[in-house]
Each structure stands twice: as C-alpha cells, then as structure tokens.
A = this chain, B = another copy of it.
Amino acid sequence: MAKRTGEKHGVILEAAVRSFARTGYHRTRVADIAREAGVADGTVYIYFESKEDILVSLFQSLMNNFVKGLLSALAQCPDADEKLKTVIRYHLTTLSARPDQAKVTQIELRQIDQSINQGISKPLKSYFQLIEEVIEEGKKQGLYRRGLDTKTARKVVFGAVDEVVTCWVMSSKPYDLTALSEPVYELLAKGLR
C-alpha cells in the first residue's frame, strides 16, 4: 500500500531530531532512531540511503519550512528595513520555539562532541571577554551608546567576524580576506554607536 508511503519518512525524521538532540549525531546509532520511530532497523534504509542522509534530509526539511515561513512573514513588510527586522525576529522566534531543532542545527550539525565542545569553550571565553572589555571601554569613553547590551553586542561582533572567516575558508575561489576588515568594521562599529 503506497498511499501511506511517506508517513514513515516523517516519523523517522522526527525520531532523528529527538535522538540527535538527546545524544548527538555521532553517538546516535541508527538502531536508536529506528527504536525511537517504532520501526525496524532495516526500515530506516527503505526511506534513507544512510545515516548521513537522515541528517542532511533533516536539515533540508527544516530549512525548507524555515524559509517558507519566513517568506510569508516578509510578505507583510512595507520596506526593506522592516524586512530585516522581521528576518531577525523570525529567526530567533522560530528556533526559540523548537529547542530540539535548534540544538541539532546549532550544535550537532557543527560540533563534534560534548567534551570537545567544553574543551573549546574555555579558551574561546578569553577572546569573548576581551571583546566585551573593548565594548565596555567604548561605552565608558562615550564612543558607544550606554544602552548597548555588551553581551549581545559581543555575540554580534564575534558571530559576524567568524562567519566572514568561515565563508572564506569554505570558498572554492580564493580571495583577500584581510581586505574585508574595513567594511566589516564599518558595519559593526556603526551599530554600536
């Protein structure tokens, strides 16, 4: 009976989100997903080519829904600035509402293991702190506005620079990364004022 085909596809995908969020991608066995979905191990392979395929399908499905929802939210916006505000609000609201999915997309899809995660956090913190100190100093010096939330500003600054580097590393064509310093600074510094 083919009419219900696809039902299990979704069931397995949902089971995978829960499993990955709970145990992490690498420590989740296909058998775990199967049990969570209430199907046999082999059934997973009727709907997905491999464990990897589950993760990728999962992400694609999440992104599809995300972009679809975002587009309809943007439809209401009168101008681009309103749209930008909507994009940010939608992004934060949506992931806020689905912590399991957020954990998969932000952590499992990127980080290797919890213990590695911890080992990385600590040395990273000193860099975070350094950035925060710069921002605080800027506030004291009257260069940046008082109302600024330092922690949030730090996340924005680090996230922005980090993404710029990531894109550069992943790019197939080489280009001058250093040359982006000025424009990135312009974008971020203005926001802080």
Contact = CB atoms under 8 A, between A and B. Distances in A.
Contacts of A131: 87
Interface in A100-129: 102-103, 106-107, 109-113, 115-117, 119-124, 126-127
A166 to B, nearest CB: 5
A7 interface: no
Interface residues of A, number: 97
Interface in A54-106: 55-56, 59-60, 63-64, 66-67, 70-71, 74, 79-81, 83-85, 87-89, 91-93, 95-96, 99, 102-103, 106
A72 to B, nearest CB: 12
Nearest to A164: B155
B107 A170 contact: yes
Given A67-B127, A79-B141, A116-B55, A184 B156 contact: yes
A157 interface: yes
B111 A144 contact: no
28 contacts: A26-B112, A52-B113, A55-B112, A56-B119, A56-B120, A59-B123, A63-B124, A64-B123, A67-B123, A70-B127, A71-B130, A79-B143, A80-B141, A83-B134, A84-B185, A84-B189, A87-B134, A88-B161, A91-B165, A93-B178, A96-B177, A106-B162, A107-B166, A107-B169, A152-B183, A156-B164, A157-B160, A190-B193
6 residue pairs, one from A and one from B, having the closest CB atoms: A159-B163, A56-B119, A80-B138, A63-B123, A187-B191, A110-B110
Given A83-B134, A84-B188, A91-B161, 17 more contacts: A52-B116, A56-B116, A60-B119, A66-B127, A67-B123, A79-B138, A80-B137, A87-B157, A88-B157, A102-B165, A102-B169, A107-B169, A112-B112, A160-B160, A163-B163, A187-B192, A190-B193
